[in-house]
Amino acid sequence: MTTKPRIAILTGYGINSDIELAHSFNLAGGNAERVHLHDAIDGSVKLEDFAILAVPGGFSFGDHIASGRVFANRLRYKLGDTLLRLREKKTPIIGICNGFQVLVKLGLLPGTEPASFTQTCTLTYNDSGRFENRWCYLKTDANVSSVWLKGLSQIYLPVRHGEGKFIPGNPELLKELEANGQTCLRYCNADGSEPAGFPANPNGSTGHIAGLCSKDGLVFGLMPHPEAHVLPTQHPQWQRDGQKAEGDGLQIFRNAIEYVS
């Protein structure tokens, strides 16, 4: 009997999408465990014992200072050595919404080689000046090499955030990320033929970027919520358009499970 890979779902201090994320990984064939950040810090749970690490969405530490900043600092100064070991071991890591903000402000995305905690980009307030809660079409870049997005060209996922606007540190960095295939997910129009402005791009993100991956494709962060579209009935038009076999987000989690298996 094959043992299901263990996935650590970090939670606590305002994270609120951990149960949905754990359910999604379990549907994809994993064994997800919700791990409170405090338990990881005090060593009662060892993150090195897991095959995948996930940072869910929510409002960690009430979004004080900036979304994801305090959680990122806790990870860096309390679990920094552990995270660097996970990168050395090539452990897949995903951050969704607030988790994406955490990984960017931690410096694991878009990342450096060797891995370090150097922040080069940010995610900041939406151009609309308000919280955006809507569904968006997304397409993967042609040269993307992330294991998380294998076999996916266009997907439809919900967003719900107030600080999702991606801004690179400088234009040269953006060109480098695009050349490396790290700007792996972008907001687009309904048929995926081209990027589109608001509301298709809900936050004004530079280059319509909705997600980033590390150069090796193992660390992946995105503002949309794939865990909120793993079942066909979660699609807002499922009664009009008919049910699909599964929600668009499920393949993202299945890809990671297959990789570590």
Catalytic choice (97, 184, 188, 213) = 97
**Partners of residue 6 on adjacent β-strands:** 31
Catalytic choice (121, 132, 163, 225) = 225
Confirm if 125 and 163 have CB atoms less than 8 A apart: yes
**Gap between the Cα atoms of 110 and 104, Å rounded:** 7
pLDDT tens profile 25-75:
999 999 999 999 999 999 999 999 999 999 999 999 888 888 999 999 999
Rg (CA), the chain: 17
pLDDT tens profile 94-153:
999 999 999 999 999 999 888 999 999 999 999 999 999 999 999 998 788 899 999 999
Q: How far is CA 136 from CA 17, 34, 79, 114, 220, in A?
A: 19, 28, 34, 34, 18
CA–centroid distance for 242 within its chain: 28
**Would you call 20 a catalytic residue per the annotation?**
no
pLDDT tens profile 168-179:
999 999 999 999
**Would you call 227 a catalytic residue per the annotation?**
yes
Query: What length is written for the chain?
Result: 261
Q: Domain segments of the chain: what residues?
A: 6-260
The CATH class that applies to domain 6-260 reads alpha beta
Catalytic choice (136, 227, 229, 235) = 227
Place of tokens 């393949």: 251
Confirm if 68 and 105 have CB atoms less than 8 A apart: yes
> Residue 256 is encoded by which pair of tokens?
């990671």
Q: State the chain's mean pLDDT as an integer.
A: 95
Confirm if 107 and 120 have CB atoms less than 8 A apart: yes
